[in-house]
């Protein structure tokens, strides 16, 4: 992890106090709706790497590890 990724990771770790985020939490961080995250997952559009947990209903629960989110955000350019 480079310095930017470490800073983002630490910020997320302090904010959420856990090692992975839900789709809703990721949507909040990215400034979009949870339905957008669902659409991106279904279409394979660029998102942080995620893990699908089995046995959580409707095909499983999706979680996004903080280190994957930090890497994604550090390598994503925000256009204003």
Q: Is 79 among the domain residues?
A: no
Task: Report CA torsion sign: 48, 65, 24, 26.
Answer: negative
| 68 is a domain residue | yes
Whether residue 80 lies inside any domain: the answer is no
| Number of domains, the chain | 1
Domain containing 38 — which CATH number? 1.10.10
The pTM of this model reads 0.86
State the residue range of the domain holding 18.
3-74
Domain membership of residue 8 (yes or no) is: yes
Q: Please list the residues that pair with 20 across neighbouring strands.
A: 65
Q: What is the mean pLDDT of residues 13-21?
A: 97
Q: Which two tokens stand for residue 65?
A: 């590890």
Asked if residue 53 lies in contact with residue 60, where contact means CB atoms within 8 angstroms, the answer is yes
| 69 located within any domain | yes
**Residue 62 included in any domain:** yes
Res. 76 pLDDT band, cuts 50 70 90: confident
Burial (CB count within 10 angstroms: exposed 0-12, middle 13-18, buried 19+), residue 74: middle
């Amino acid at each position: 992890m480079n310095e930017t990724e470490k800073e983002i990771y630490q910020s997320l770790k302090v904010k959420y106090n856990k090692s992975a985020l839900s789709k809703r939490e990721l949507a909040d961080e990215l400034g979009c709706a949870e339905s957008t995250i669902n659409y991106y997952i279904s279409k394979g559009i660029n998102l942080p790497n995620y893990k699908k947990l089995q046995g959580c209903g409707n095909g499983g629960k999706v979680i996004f590890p903080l280190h994957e989110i930090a890497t994604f955000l550090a390598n994503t350019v925000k256009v204003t």
